Structure 1
Amino acid sequence: RTRAWKFELAALAVETGLEITVCHFPPGTSKWNRIEHRLFSHITMNWRGRPLTSHEVIVNSIAATTTHTGLTVRAELDTALYETGVRISDGQLNTLPLSRHDWHGDWNYTLHPQEHRRDGVLPIPPQNEAGPGRDWLTHPALTGIPHEQWDSLVTELAAARAAQRETDLQQRRGGDRQKTPAAGLYTGRRPGLTLVDRLLATILYQRFKLPQVVIAPLFTVTPVTLNRAISQTRRLLHDIGHAIEPAETQLATLDDLTDLTTHLGIPKPEIKTASY
Structure 2
Amino acid sequence: MGRFDGLIEPLRAKLEAVAPYLDERQRRLLYAAEARQLGYGGIAAVAEDAGVSKGCVSRGLAELEEGAEPDDRVRRAGGGRPALTEKDPGLRPALLSLVEDSTQGDPIGPLTWTTKSLRHLARELAAQGRVVGRDTIAALLKEAGFSLRGNAKVLAGSGHPDRDAQFRHLNDKVREFLDAGEPVISVDTKKKEQIGLFAQAGREWAPPGAPMKVLDHDFPTQAVGTAIPYGIYDVGRNTGYVVVGTDHDTAAFAVAALRRWWKEEGSAAYPHARRLLITADGGGSNSSRAKAWKANLAVLATETGLQISVCHLPPGTSKWNKVEHRLFSFISMNWRARPLTSFEVALNLIASTTTATGLHVTARLDENSYPTGIEIDAQHAAALKINPDDFHGEWNYTIPPQPGVPAVPLQPPGRRSHPRTAHTFDAALATHPVLTGLTRQALDHLVAEIREVADTLPPEQRPRHRKLAVENIIWATLLDQRGLPASLIAHLFHIGENQMRALIQQTRPLLQRHGHHSEPLPVHLIDPCELARYVMSATSTTS
The TM tier, using the shorter chain, reads 0.3 to 0.5
So what's the TM-score if we normalise by structure 2?
A: 0.21
Of Structure 1 and Structure 2, the greater strand share is in 2
* Greater relative CO, 1 or 2 (CA 8 Å, sep 6+): 1
So what's the TM-score if we normalise by structure 1?
A: 0.40
